[in-house]
Amino acid sequence: MSKRKNRRKYLPILLAIITSFCLLSFYGLVIEPNRFVVAHHQLNKQFAEANNSFKIVQISDLHLRKFNNRSKLIAKQINKLNPNIILFTGDSIDKAEQLDGFEHFLSRLNRQTAKYAVMGNWEYWADIDLKRLTAIYANYNCRLLVNESILHNYGDRTILITGLDDLTSKPDLMKSLQGVRPQPNHLLLAHSPAYRDLFSIDELAMLRQYKPQYMLSGHTHGGQISLFGFTPLRPNGSGRYISGWYRDSAPWLYVSRGLGVSVLPVRIGVVPEISYFEWFLN
């Protein structure tokens, strides 16, 4: 009789555990992966003037599998932010057959807004046709940067944007800056944040010469699962980085949580984000 009473005593606890697990699973599989927020940041606020506010939207790790209502909402939100440039920091798609859906997504963005992109590991793993991807980007006013730099003019100011190849391939800072003069406003784009800790001695010397202020990355998805700050799963190429700002050394690094999922179709405690930066230019 006492055994039955003990079983009944623990039954509500067991039911509570099972219910909590089911609710958490539903949230992680259905709710959070389909949410997104806009993460706002101001850079160089101490230099704010009437005409030097440069607005950037960073889209990372979209992992677009099909163009759907969520994709429409993301595109609508980007247009609503009215940025000066849009930056794609890799892993926009997972498979070659998803290119059509990604092109549809690009078509929803303001074509007049300049856009720049870099490669991610999934574009390589999926064996995406680089020529076709470059052409699709170009058709929507987007320049794919693979170890190269470009000067973007904004009023009487210039921004040097350097796009590095992903660690899956051959990122090359020296090649990226060959023949380019240093600029007071310089931004690095690299999909995998671990590259920040892998610069060679020559590359470090070049960084001291060019003095880029900021580096934007993605790749980590913030771990996709974060339990009280603990992120048990991060992909190779994450290094010591999870998400947010890292100001321990130059250039300052921002790691976006990204918008999609990969491998595991789940997010818990890591809400997808559109990263928005207001940069007060020198």
CATH topology of domain 36-280: Purple Acid Phosphatase; chain A, domain 2 (3.60.21)
Q: Give the C-alpha distances (Å, rounded to integers) separating 111 from 24, 42, 186.
A: 40, 25, 24
Residue 28: per-residue pLDDT: 74
Mean pLDDT of 16-45: 81
- Identify the weakest region by mean pLDDT among 101-105, 172-176, 228-232, 277-281: 228-232
Strands 37-43 and 148-154: unpaired
- The rounded distance, in Å, linking the Cα atoms of 107 and 79 is 12
What was the pLDDT predicted at 236? 93
Mean residue pLDDT of the chain comes to 92
Nearest residue to 137 (alpha-carbon basis) of 190, 170, 99: 99
Pairwise CA distance, residues 218 & 120, whole Å: 9
Q: How long a stretch of residues is the chain?
A: 282
Q: Is 29 a residue whose pLDDT tops 90?
A: no
220-258 burial by CB neighbour count: b if 16+ within 10 A, else e?
A: bbbbbbbeeeebeebbebbbebbbeebeeeebbbbbbbb
Ordered by start, the domain boundaries in the chain are 1-34, 36-280
Which one-letter DSSP state was computed for residue 94? S
Q: State the first-to-last Cα distance of the chain, in angstroms, to the nearest integer.
A: 80
Residues linked to residue 157 through DSSP beta bridges, in sequence order: 154
Rg for the chain, CA atoms, rounded: 21
Residue 42 contacts residue 278 (beta carbons within 8 Å): yes
Q: Please give the Cα distance from 267 to 212 (Å, whole number).
A: 33
pTM above 0.85, yes or no: yes
